[in-house]
Structure 1
Amino acid sequence: MEPAAVAEAEERGANRLYVVLTRAVSRLDVVHARPLPFCRGLQPAPDQGHPER
């Protein structure tokens, strides 16, 4: 599922996306085609330019 689509799907979509992204236990890779929506935890890592894991 496209992260931006989750955020846009409902009024509290950004909150739902945050919950989904913060429940990973050991590793989370975010694959996306569209720009990531503003959400805590989706800022690029300082040295890699990839979303934080």
Structure 2
Amino acid sequence: MSPSRVRRCPHGPALLAADRIAQSMPQAVDRRLTPGGEIPSGSIEDIIRQQQF
């Protein structure tokens, strides 16, 4: 979303945040949560706690 579109839209900041999360989520899952293409053992909460974001 372009900065000018964010300024014109009353929900711009929320849309911009959602857009950035949507762009970064696949990389976070690929690189952090499934290293080497393997799903680590343990609960998702345990896996997230082990990360140093």
TM range (shorter): 0.3 to 0.5
TM-score, structure 2 length as denominator? 0.37
TM-score, structure 1 length as denominator? 0.37
Larger Rg: 2
Report which of the two has the higher share of helix. Answer: 2
Higher normalized contact order (CA 8 Å, seq sep 6+, divided by chain length): 1
